[in-house]
């Protein structure tokens, strides 16, 4: 089966890029199931029901979150209605689930949303928790396990790879919005430290540059905002899994505005 993974969708520019390109990419690359990260989809902070329905209509099958999952309080009522999850290591009392299970082409797959520690909200230890979650899934016979590791620190993401590379199908880093050039398949596990944003590419992490620049110059912050007009990018990973849950091929797809797509194959270890 072939699965597409899209990192942080940032505001209207990101949503429009998916509207323009996603269904065509799904057809061209024979994608059977598409995952995306929603936490910045509604004007950069959280997700509204309107935008949730919009994104699912563009061809996304389910969505993961992160530290901005709860910025729009209406999401509390969306978890029971739409295929959305939030980081699994939030406290048990937190609304929503951190694990999504479904069947694709006869194979049961599990998608886990996990959040790192560095500069993130207070959550349970991601490393001890994910080990237990993965063990329980494998005991149930689930071989196709995909993790969205939403973290600031690259070291946390790389450590997770070496801890779980023999036990899971894929680990995708999200949160920084800045794509890394390390897409690889190692021991049957697809990995990239950060998929990168889908949204504005000519600002700072998908936002207008004025407030971040002022903050770095003066120490005075402000509200980050999405530009009304900008140059945009779509970034996604397409990877193929065999019946045993092993990744056998992967590639990164980038589209700048309406230019022809750029496809880069993963390094196979």
The stretches of the chain forming alpha helices (DSSP H) are 11-28, 49-57, 126-139, 154-164, 210-218
- For residue 263, give Cα distances in angstroms to 181, 209, 255: 13, 28, 9
CA separation for the pair 124, 44 (Å, rounded)? 25
Q: Token digits for 204?
A: 């700072």
Contact yes or no for 144/103 (Cβ under 8 A):
no
Task: State the catalytic residues.
Answer: 68
């Amino acid at each position: 089966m072939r699965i597409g993974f899209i990192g942080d969708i940032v505001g209207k520019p990101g949503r429009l890029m998916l509207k323009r390109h996603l269904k065509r990419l799904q057809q061209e690359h024979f994608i059977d199931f598409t995952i995306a990260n929603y936490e910045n989809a509604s004007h950069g902070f959280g997700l509204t029901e309107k935008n949730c329905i919009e994104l699912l209509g563009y061809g996304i099958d389910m969505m993961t979150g992160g530290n901005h999952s709860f910025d729009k309080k209406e999401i509390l009522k969306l978890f029971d209605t739409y295929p959305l999850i939030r980081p699994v290591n939030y406290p048990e009392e937190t609304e929503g689930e951190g694990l999504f299970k479904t069947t694709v082409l006869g194979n049961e797959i599990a998608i886990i949303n996990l959040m790192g520690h560095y500069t993130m909200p207070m959550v349970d230890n991601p490393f001890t928790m994910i080990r237990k979650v993965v063990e329980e899934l494998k005991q149930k016979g689930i071989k196709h396990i995909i993790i969205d590791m939403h973290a600031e620190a690259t070291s946390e993401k790389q450590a997770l790879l070496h801890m779980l590379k023999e036990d899971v199908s894929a680990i995708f880093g999200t949160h920084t919005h800045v794509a890394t050039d390390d897409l690889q398949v190692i021991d049957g596990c697809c990995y990239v430290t950060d998929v990168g944003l889908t949204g504005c590419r000519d600002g700072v992490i998908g936002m207008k540059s004025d407030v971040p620049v002022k903050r770095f110059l003066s120490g005075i912050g402000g509200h980050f905002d999405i530009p009304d007009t900008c140059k945009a990018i779509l970034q996604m990973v397409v990877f193929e899994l065999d019946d045993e849950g092993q990744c056998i091929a992967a590639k990164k797809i980038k589209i700048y505005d309406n230019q022809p797509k750029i496809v880069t194959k993963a390094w196979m270890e």
